[in-house]
């Protein structure tokens, strides 16, 4: 694989993580506990859509085959999506969403900080913008995990279950493949080993404050980064892509 | 069904350095940190502010509307408290 191909694949992956999580969050937009929380999460989802647009546009430009952000979002099949499995997991209840968000953003924030320092100026610029948004999200979601974990017996038990349920999807975050290695080597990009250390330390801190147990690392699911997804992604894309598939080229 | 509502907080925003905080509205939140987050996400989405205060509505001591006559009306006929009786000397600008 050449450097440029790795860069395109890497930007697409970042876009996929952002877009799939954005779609999940917006699915739940009327289901949060209070109006204020709905506003907050709608904004977070829009932050992610903004990031996805930038990553896709960047990948499309590098590729030079005249694909724009919408082509990436609406005209690719599930197996062409390279998001991690964690972000495509169904919403479940509020605690599940907070668990998914905490585990993903504890990874995504140091990843963005690494990209910000890399020597591809285009990618670094997108990361510099996104990093501020995610830093705020993570602050918000961490508070929720603490509030629910250190809340009532009921909320504690459910929050623990949510963390346990999502734990199996965290191994994939740090499993470096050819693309990750090329980005680290050729562009001085983020190092997944050091991100794993930061992730463990942040997650452990939040869980401890939330009086929750950190699950043991046992079997870990993987495949999302290579395009092998759970069945959930197909349903998500069907809903998201429906309009463009039925009315190709439709515009407002 | 929500059987117990979160407490109400009043939100004050300072729009830029040098100005004072102004009341923007109110939000519900379960605790102080959440109140700050909700204030941020509800009232500063369009760059309205650089500083936020939130305070529980129940902590605010307010004047009683029933007493407004005693409170505010005595000031109405004291026009001499307004600086409108001074003649501005010639040559003074920016007044």
Residue A200 lies in a domain: yes
The structural domains of chain B, ordered by start, are 8-81 (3.10.20.520)
pTM for this structure?
Answer: 0.90
Q: Is the ipTM of this complex over 0.95?
A: no
Question: Which residues constitute the domain of residue A27?
Answer: 3-246
Residue A187 lies in a domain: yes
Whether residue A147 and residue B31 make contact (CB cut-off 8 A), yes or no, is yes
Whether residue A36 and residue B41 make contact (CB cut-off 8 A), yes or no, is yes
Spatial distance between the Cα atoms of A122 and A130, rounded to a whole number of angstroms: 13
Which of A33, A39, A143 lies nearest to residue B41, judging by beta carbons? A39
**CATH number for A190:** 1.20.1260.10
Alpha-carbon dihedral sign for residues B52, A51, A107, A25 = positive
Residue A251 lies in a domain: no
Which of A34, A43, A140 lies nearest to residue B6, judging by beta carbons? A34
Whether residue B38 and residue A143 make contact (CB cut-off 8 A), yes or no, is no
Residue A145 lies in a domain: yes
Domains in chain A, number = 1
> Using an 8 Å Cβ cutoff, are A100 and A88 in contact?
no
| Tens place of pLDDT per residue across chain A (252 aa) | 899 999 999 999 999 999 999 999 999 999 998 899 999 999 999 999 999 999 999 999 999 999 999 999 999 999 999 999 999 999 999 999 999 999 999 999 999 999 999 999 999 999 999 999 999 999 999 999 999 999 999 999 999 999 999 999 999 999 999 999 999 999 999 999 999 999 999 999 999 999 999 999 889 999 999 999 999 999 999 999 999 999 998 887
Quickly tell me which residue has 């991100």 as its tokens.
A195
User: How do strand B51-56 and strand B22-28 relate by DSSP bridges?
Assistant: unpaired
Closest-approach residue (CA) in chain B for A139: B37
Whether residue B41 and residue A35 make contact (CB cut-off 8 A), yes or no, is no
Q: Which residues of B touch A (CB under 8 A)?
A: 2, 6, 27-31, 33-34, 37-38, 40-42, 45
DSSP line for B30-93: SSHHHHHHHHHHHH-TTS--SEEEEEEGGG-----GGGHHHHHGGGTT-GGGSS-SPPPPTT--
What is the distance in angstroms between the Cα of B93 and the nearest Cα belonging to chain A? 46
User: How do strand B22-28 and strand B8-14 relate by DSSP bridges?
Assistant: antiparallel
> Using an 8 Å Cβ cutoff, are A3 and A69 in contact?
no
Quickly tell me which residue has 């952002």 as its tokens.
A18
């Amino acid at each position: 694989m050449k450097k440029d191909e790795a860069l395109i694949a890497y930007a697409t992956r970042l876009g996929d993580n952002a877009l799939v999580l954005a779609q999940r969050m917006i699915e739940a937009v009327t289901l949060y506990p209070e109006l204020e929380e709905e506003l907050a999460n709608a904004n977070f989802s829009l932050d992610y859509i903004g990031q996805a647009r930038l990553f896709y546009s960047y990948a499309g430009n590098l590729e030079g085959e005249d694909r724009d952000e919408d082509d990436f979002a609406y005209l690719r099949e599930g197996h062409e999506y390279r998001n991690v499995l964690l972000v495509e997991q169904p919403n479940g209840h509020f605690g599940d969403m907070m668990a998914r968000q905490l585990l993903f953003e504890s990874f995504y924030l140091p990843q963005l900080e690494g990209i910000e320092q890399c020597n591809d100026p285009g990618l670094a610029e997108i990361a510099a913008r996104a990093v501020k948004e995610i830093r705020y999200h993570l602050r918000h979601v961490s508070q929720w995990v603490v509030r629910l974990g250190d809340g009532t017996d009921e909320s504690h038990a459910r929050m623990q279950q949510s963390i346990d349920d999502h734990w199996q999807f965290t191994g994939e975050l740090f499993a470096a493949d050819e693309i990750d290695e090329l980005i680290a080597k050729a562009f001085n990009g983020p190092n997944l080993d050091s991100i794993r250390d930061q992730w463990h330390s942040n997650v452990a801190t939040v869980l401890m404050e939330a009086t929750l147990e950190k699950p043991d690392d046992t079997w870990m699911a993987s495949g999302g980064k290579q395009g092998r997804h759970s069945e959930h992604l197909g349903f998500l894309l069907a809903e998201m892509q429906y309009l463009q598939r039925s009315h190709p080229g439709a515009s407002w | 069904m929500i059987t117990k509502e979160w407490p109400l907080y009043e939100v004050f925003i300072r729009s830029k350095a040098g100005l004072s905080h102004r009341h923007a509205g109110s939000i519900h939140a379960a605790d102080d940190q959440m109140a700050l987050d909700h204030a941020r996400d509800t009232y500063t989405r369009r760059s309205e502010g650089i500083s936020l205060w939130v305070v529980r509505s129940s902590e605010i001591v307010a004047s009683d509307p029933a007493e407004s006559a005693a409170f505010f009306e005595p000031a109405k006929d004291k026009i001499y408290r307004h600086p409108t009786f001074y003649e501005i000397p010639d040559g003074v600008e920016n007044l």
